[in-house]
Each structure stands twice: as C-alpha cells, then as structure tokens.
Structure 1
Amino acid sequence: MSSSAPRMVNSYGNMISGFSARLTREELEAMVTKEGFLHANPDRILPLQTTHTPEFLGLHLQDGFVKGSNFGGGVIISMLDTSVFPNHPSFSDDAMSSPSAMWKGHCDFGASLCNNKLIGGRTFVNGNVGKSPPVDEEGHDTHTTSTAAEQFVKGEEMLGEALGTTLGMAPRTHLAIYKVCNDEGCVESDILAAMDAAVDDGVDVLLLSIGGVSIPFYADDIAIGAFGDIEKEVFVSCATGNAGPFSKMLSNEAPWILTVAASTMDRSIRAFVKLDNGVVLNGELLYQQKDFPSIPLPLVYAESSSNPDAALCDDGSLDGLNVKGKVVVCERDDFSGRIDKGKTVKDAAAMILMNQAVDRFCTLVDPHVLPASHIGYTDGTALTAYIGSSGNATTTFAFQGMVLGTGSASAVSSFSSCELSGASPGILKPDISGPGVSILAAWPPTVDSSSAMTGHSATFNMVSDTSMSTSHLSRIAALLRAVHPDWSPAAIKSAIMTTPDTLDCSSNPITDENHLPATYFALGSGHVNPTKAVDPGLVYNLTSDDYFPYLCGLGYTSKQVQAITRMSGSCDTVGRIPQWDLN
C-alpha cells in the first residue's frame, strides 16, 4: 500500500451507510469486530459494457405519447460512464427549459459548456471527486448518452450512410454526467460514490453501461447502490453485458434493476459479395467507397498459413504477405477487435469479415479503415469452400447502401449476454431487449473513430453493444416518468416488461443469432414497445420491503440482507419466500 495515497477514498450516505478505504488485511479484520459492522466488499474494477431507432420503435414526433411527454422535458437522467464531449451539437440547449428546483447538483465542465441540457458533470475516478473536468477521452459515454437524449441534429451521417436527423429517445431531458471510468476500467467504490451523489443531486433516471461477473447481491456494489436508488424513487437501468451467447455471463442481475439485452432494428447497410462462380453472399458494410474497382479482385485467405493467427488477421499475423489490390478474408472472433482486423489489412483493396459458428447470422456495421463486408457463418462456409476449390478465386462488391424495413428486425444479437442468472436463477434476466446493433450517435472529434474518414474528425460513429440498448430503455423510462410522474421505479419497470413485442416486423417470432426463436433467457420479456408501455392497463408495484423475504430466500444471512437493504429485522422474523414468488 502506497504511504502517500489517502486512506479514506469515499464516504456514502444515501444508498448505504459506509465508506471505502484503503485497508490492510489486519485492519479489516480488526474492523469486523467493531459494533455496527455489517459487511465489507473488496473493490473490483469493472469493464464498460440515433437517426432511425425512435421511428423504428414507433416514437414519431407527432405521436400522442411523445408529445404528451414533452419529449421527456423536466426529467433528469444521469449517466455513469466515461463522461461526454460537452460542446458536441447533440448536447446544445436549444428550446430547453431550466431544470426544476429539485436539481441540486453542479457542473464541472466549465460555465461556458454547461447549459439547460447538460446541467451536471462531475468526476469520480480513483476517489478524486471533482479534481478534474469530466471530459470523455474514450468516446463510449458520448455515444451512449446521445443515443437516448441528444438534441435534434440535422444532416448527420457516417461515411455517407444513415443520413438523417439524429435525435435521442427523449431529446428534452436534462443530463447529469458522472465520470467513473477511464481507460483502465471502472472502480466499484467510485461507481457507488457517483450513485450516492446522483441521489443527492436530484436525478430521476440512472443509467450504467458497466458490469462484471455474477456474484451475490450483498457483494455487488452496483446492486447495493441501485437498491438505495429505487428507495429514493430513482429508476435504474443497466446493460446485461456483451459476453453472449455463453451461459451464466450475465451482469446486473438484481430484480430491482431493469437489465437490458441488445437486438437489431430494421435498418441494414448492405454490400453483396459476388464470387466468380455466380454465388452472391449477403454482407453489411459502412464504407461504400465510390471509386471501388468494378473488376474482379483476387481473394486472400491466410487460414493455411504457418501463423495460426493469420486467419484471424491479428496484428502482425499477415506480415510478409502481399495483400495490395486484393480482398482479404478474416475470421471474426471474441478476442481481437473487428476494426483492428481492418487495420491489419489496411493496405488491401477490401476485407471480408466472416463469422465463426458461435455468431452465426449476426452481422454488424463498423467504421472500418477500408471497405469491409461482414458476412454470416453460412455464407462464410460457402466462401471458404469456393476459395479451397478454386485456383484463382476472385470477387467483386456490389454496394446497396442503406435499406429500411428488413423483416428480421428485433433479432437478439449474438454478443448480448444471456442464459440463467447466476445470482438468482429463479428470476428471469435480462428483463427486456432494445436496439443495440449498428447504432449511429455522437462521438468526440478528439477520439479516433478508426474509420475511413482519414484527415477528418468524426462527430458521429456507429457502435454495437448492450450499452446502446440500455440507453434506449433509459430514455423510454424517462418518457414514462414524464407522462406518469407518480409511478414508482417498479411500476415503470412493470409497464415496460408487460407490454413488449414478441413478434418481429414480419409477424414471426423474434429470433436469435441462429435464426431460431429467441428464448426468454436471451430476449427477456420481449422487445420494448414504448407506445404500449405508456398505457399498460395494469402495473405491478413493489416496495423495498418486498425484497427482504426474497433475499432471505436466496440463503443470505440477516446481516447480508441488511447490507443491501439497510433495514432492521432478521430472516427468522420477516420470513423467506422462493425467489420465483417475488411479485
């Protein structure tokens, strides 16, 4: 332990009565013996987990629900992430009213950057509260925040595609930004400090696109903090995680949190891959190069190379291989980034990124440094068979641009974490799915978007993950709070979960990455339908007292339950219920 580092890191008074500190094991053991001690958790470092989505979800500008909610006007949404780029046009305050008198926070971006849209901004990184401006140096939170709450910005696009007016799901909401993450991750004690401050500041909705592996709720600071938030009538939504489709890899499983999976929408940016044997493969491609060669180009697939990483196009794996003027085939995997593969083959004419079996039909639109068509596993199998049987394999690309109205919309993405909850298998998680694939939203021009926009500063970017879907759901919750200010967080969660769609745009069951009907362990209760959620007919409410017997039923001790709920009492007197009997 560094002798110069302060021993006390953070103190908490809203979600829990406690503090975070740097202690030796001997000091912790001594503290356990003190009167009033309940529980101590080791600090963890957790990872971070638009132009068309409002229309896709049925949120039209003249719709009664949207107009009736005043676009979420008056509601304060807090984001705990990497912070935002404050002077992005998405965060202007045109036509914005002042926040209500309930707002008690402050803004450390600087007087010239704070406005009626961006009303708060604070840093909570490594316990250094408010010691530096909370500017986004990663891009993640700028994109996530603008997905849901950005202002109307006309004429935005990415590399000429997805042109339109960008607006968030709730463009008149106020934003309070809490920076809790940097390039090293997000420390739980900082997250808890920001959650504590957000309640003091007077926020209505809290969004976290952060999560770790499944652990008991009494050891999970996000679960503990979220419980304190809902007691203060703050709605909390979190990402389910991006570790799918493997089992028991869910994050944020507590039943008082809205846990969100990622699904597709009805927009595709297409490029066909035409092989010289007449086979045409369906791909998605953002950078549709205007002067791309129309003649057949040689195909290169390095799977047979002596370098085992060559088929994956890992950094340095193709050194010495002449790819200039050719189309390089690369396999997608879960360890090297998709955009990084494009950088490895940047001297080629183009890249074909093909799925391995685990991702099947799930393709994504990424801002690659060269034209790169992403194809599914079945098409990839056909491609490699053709290359193996041909002595002179060639291909051409046929660009189609943006296509709307694709029938398989709302399909659950392969990266979205799914399967049984490890912390509470009797509770279905995730709760709901929402758009999280190929989402166009704001991006800091100071952060590299890794796109083909060489020499330009990208102010928008396309990203796919459960952070994007969680952002959509948080803003839908804000709209519901604006229409129903008397609804509790549990009532809002109930309205969302009892009114979703289970059929896609073609009236077929929503599918997963295998084109099979998605299970509820992947989809949750369904794909969000905000226009139905505003008038669900019936909502199921819960109070914090209802969770005490549920937590006892998980086998927790009375002290462990008290560490979560801050309630007196014991499991012997309150009783225990099976987890599936909650609500």
Structure 2
Amino acid sequence: MSLSNHALFLVLYLCASFLRSGLHVDGSEEPKAYIVHVKAPEKVDFDVADRWSDWYSSLLESAATPLGLASEEGDPRSRLIYSYRNVMTGFSARLTPREVEAMSTMDWFLHAYPSRVYRLQTTHTPEFLGLRPRSHGVWNESNMGEGIIIGLVDTGVTPGHPSYNDHGMPPPPAKWKGRCDLKASACNNKLIGARSFINHDGRKRRSTGTPVDQEGHGTHTSSIAAGAFVKRANVNGFAGGVAAGMAPRAHIAAYNVCDENACMGHDMLAAMDAAVDDGVDVLSFSISADPIPFHSDPIAQGTFNAISKGVFISCSAGNEGPDPGSVNNDAPWVLTVGASTTDRVFLASVKLGNGRKLDGESLYRPRSFEPKMLPLVYPGLVTRKDSSYMCVNGSLDGVDVRGKIVLCHLGFMDSVQMSEVVKKAGGAGMIVMGTRSLMGIKQESTLYTNKY
C-alpha cells in the first residue's frame, strides 16, 4: 500500500474514532480474557511466531512481581492465550480489571480491551454484478476468481460438501503457507485450509475445537463466497438449478472461531492474525457485535492493519434494522455488505372449507396428509388469552388441537419454536399469520405453513 493511501486510511480511522463514543468497563474481579495492545519492539523484527510468543510471555513474566500475577499453575505465562503479530502488536491473556489497571503503568503497555462476544449473522446479485459464464464481465475478466485465496472467519466447514469440489481447480498459489487440520482427504485445491481458534475462556494453553462446521453457518457463507459449480441444486425440491459462489474458482481457507454459544473477540483476532500469515487475499466476516468506538475496538483495528498488509476485508452489516445506528462492522476501511429483500417466494396454498385459497410460503409439502379436509382451530378465540394467539409455551393448555391445523400469530417466537408447541399439544399442522415490516416494505397477511 502506498504511503498516501496509508495516510488516507489513518485520517479516516482517526476521524471516525473521534465521532464514536461510549465504552463499557466491567468492575468484576474475576479473571477474564483481555486483548492487550503493546508497543512494538524497536529495531527488532521477529521472523517467526514463536519469537513473538516468547517476547509476550516475557512481558507477562516481567509484570508478575509488581502486579502480583499468579495462576493455577504458578506460572504467570500460563495466563497467555494468543500472541498477535500481523493485525496487532499484542496478546490476549486472562486478567482481572485490577491487574489491567496496574499493567497500564508498564512502559510497553498501550491499551487493554475486554474480549467481546460476537454473533453470527439474494438473489439477483450475481446477475446484477454481471457474473455470467458466457458474457463479458467480472467473471470472465478475473477467470472467476482463479488464484485468489478467500479466508472465512466463521464456524468452519462441512468436509465433503459439493461446493468444495475441486474439479478443474489449480493448486493454491505458492505464497500459501496455511494448513488443513481436517483429515487428509477433506482438503483439496478448492478447500485449501481449515483451522480452529476456539478458546473462549482462555483457560486452555492452546485453542480447542475442530474446523468441522457444527452450525452450518460457515459452510453457508463460504459456499456463497467461493463455492464450486453444483448441478441440480435445490431447496427441498424447489428452485432447482446450478449453484455457484461469487468467485467459484477462488480457493477457500476456513477459520473456525465460533461454537453454539458465541464467537469471542480474542479468538477472532487470532484467526485474523493467522490468516494474514497464511497468505489470504481476502478476509470475510459474517459476524458482528454492537458498534463501539474504533479506538476501543481491537477487531476494527485488526482489520485496519490487515488492509495495510494488502488483505481486502469484507464484513456483514448485521441482521438488525432499519433503525438508525443499526449497521455493524461500519469501519470506513472495510467493505460492509448489507442484505436486501427478494422478489421470489416458495408458494404454498391453504384451501379453506368454503373453497377459498390463501397463498403463503413454505418449504414443506405434507405428503402424508390425506385428501380429506382437517379441522382448523384458532386458540385465541377459545381462551381469549393474548399468549394463545401466538402459540407460546403453555398457551395451548386447555385447547383441543389434536389432529387439527392450528392458526398462530407471528410474535416474539420464531415459527420453529411455535411448531414445537403445536406438535407437543397434538396438532396436525400449523399456519402462522401476521403483518411484518421489513426494511420499510410491509407484507400484509402473509401465511407461512409449516409442519414441525
């Protein structure tokens, strides 16, 4: 990156930081994970990760006596969780707020950030971007992303998924230094790397977990980014066709930082640091948390430093909105990608006893239903309780729904949770109705037909 471009990023960074406000400080004295930003050593250029880890360990050790650092093992260095050298000069460690306050007096200390919890968060987009195999445009001009390495910081990958087929793919570029922590047959010229960085509480000496996707989110996002061409793709028999990612000839490197509970900031920073070392060209995040000032956000700072090393950063804008201030990952040096509404539906119709048909959406087709009509019951009219309208837990007590289709209002529970309530009560099926407002577009009386 040129000096002028770097200066521009720095100006944007500083200006945006001063426009943000608010920082939460935890007064608890229980040790927890902190990300500690330190001054870079002068006239020293460590060329291997172990040298950095040794140096950070020595900083912790030097602080042990004045700070009274102790640990379960009696060695203050066991507090160290991760060492960072690419996206930040610093480390993460288990510390108490009082220890952090005392550490701030050390001459090598810059700042300490409590590790935050992050949460996991179309479809004419390819056509809109001109991504067509037989036309002039980005796909043909870039050979569909060939030679590009996309790093996905997410929940890992599903080995053997058809989107990771490497038919016709060249080997990864010579600059690739990453590794695959799956069985040998799982990685190939498409899926070239898979690692796990899960050490949420920092009590382990190293990260745990597996790169195998237990949530499905990472497999979903990586296949959108760079999935191979998959013929006869469909969703429960609907929308059949050929599926492909936005850059189907790019390589995928997966970094698992999330489990079923959360994604932690210090794990994410470690994955980012490793990805830069591995040689990725792009880092993609579909993870976010509520915005905080950039000078207090180590992830935003990490993306800034990754960009200064030539890595492009793409982040999701989050799942909230459309209220003001609901956009996440809003640092001006990253590409923040927002979702939009679609103009396609999975049509399903409900036929009433009077012959009237109501159209809604569903991916379920009840083949087990007999041709005869089933009774329809609306619990809200039976009990007159507000909770009965929404089919929440306990709301169907005293209502005979056995063998019937239950009509439920869309409320604060999602349709899957509501269907479990209906199933437990003996219902044969469920129709969810309601008026929803999404991004300023109002959808009136939309019906969703589900069977558990």
Q: Structure 1: which 5+ residue stretches go unaligned?
A: 363-375, 384-395, 398-449, 453-583
Equivalent position to 1:343, from 420, 424, 429: 420
Q: State whether residues 322 and 439 of structure 2, in contact with CA within 8 Å, keep that contact through their aligned partners in structure 1.
A: no
In the TM superposition, 1:327-476 aligns within 5 A as 327-333=405-411, 335-346=412-423, 347-359=426-438, 378-379=444-445
Establish whether residue 76 from structure 1 lines up as the match of residue 149 from structure 2: yes
Call closer, same or farther: CA 1:378–1:131 in 2, change over 3 Å.
closer
What is the CA-CA distance between 1:236 and the residue it aligns to?
1.0
Q: State whether residues 124 and 179 of structure 1, in contact with CA within 8 Å, keep that contact through their aligned partners in structure 2.
A: yes
Q: Percent identity?
A: 49
TM-score relative to the length of structure 1: 0.59
What is the CA-CA distance between 1:264 and the residue it aligns to?
3.0
Establish whether residue 181 from structure 1 lines up as the match of residue 181 from structure 2: no
Q: Distance in 1 between matches of 2:387 and 2:154?
A: 33
Aligned partner letter, 2:406: V
Q: State whether residues 156 and 254 of structure 2, in contact with CA within 8 Å, keep that contact through their aligned partners in structure 1.
A: yes
Q: Distance in 2 between matches of 1:356 and 1:266?
A: 17
Q: Distance in 2 between matches of 1:312 and 1:219?
A: 41
What is the CA-CA distance between 1:341 and the residue it aligns to?
1.9
Q: State whether residues 196 and 210 of structure 2, in contact with CA within 8 Å, keep that contact through their aligned partners in structure 1.
A: yes
Q: Distance in 1 between matches of 2:410 and 2:300?
A: 33
What is the CA-CA distance between 1:244 and the residue it aligns to?
2.3
Call closer, same or farther: CA 1:224–1:166 in 2, change over 3 Å.
same
Q: For each residue in 1:148-168, what CA deviation from the matched residue of structure 2 results, as whole angstroms up to 9, or x when unmatched?
A: 321122222222212222221
Call closer, same or farther: CA 1:330–1:269 in 2, change over 3 Å.
same
88-97 vs 54-63, greater mean Cα deviation: 54-63
Structure 2 partner of 1:87: 160
Structure 2 partner of 1:21: 93
Q: For each residue in 1:109-135, what CA deviation from the matched residue of structure 2 results, as whole angstroms up to 9, or x when unmatched?
A: 122211111111111111565654311
Establish whether residue 322 from structure 1 lines up as the match of residue 388 from structure 2: no
Aligned partner letter, 1:379: S
Structure 2 partner of 1:162: 239
In the TM superposition, 1:237-256 aligns within 5 A as 237-256=314-333
Partner-residue secondary structure (3-state), 2:321: coil
What is the CA-CA distance between 1:277 and the residue it aligns to?
6.1
What is the CA-CA distance between 1:226 and the residue it aligns to?
1.0
Q: State whether residues 123 and 342 of structure 2, in contact with CA within 8 Å, keep that contact through their aligned partners in structure 1.
A: no
Q: Distance in 1 between matches of 2:167 and 2:178?
A: 21
Aligned partner letter, 1:343: E
Aligned partner letter, 1:350: G
Structure 2 partner of 1:312: 390
Structure 2 partner of 1:119: 192
In the TM superposition, 1:478-557 aligns within 5 A as none
Establish whether residue 40 from structure 1 lines up as the match of residue 106 from structure 2: no
Call closer, same or farther: CA 1:377–1:106 in 2, change over 3 Å.
same
Call closer, same or farther: CA 1:172–1:9 in 2, change over 3 Å.
same
RMSD: 2.9
Q: Distance in 2 between matches of 1:123 and 1:331?
A: 41
Q: State whether residues 328 and 351 of structure 1, in contact with CA within 8 Å, keep that contact through their aligned partners in structure 2.
A: yes
Structure 2 partner of 1:393: none
Q: Structure 2: which 5+ residue stretches go unaligned?
A: 1-29, 32-70
Q: State whether residues 281 and 379 of structure 1, in contact with CA within 8 Å, keep that contact through their aligned partners in structure 2.
A: no
Q: Distance in 2 between matches of 1:233 and 1:319?
A: 60
What is the CA-CA distance between 1:104 and the residue it aligns to?
1.2
Partner-residue secondary structure (3-state), 1:39: strand
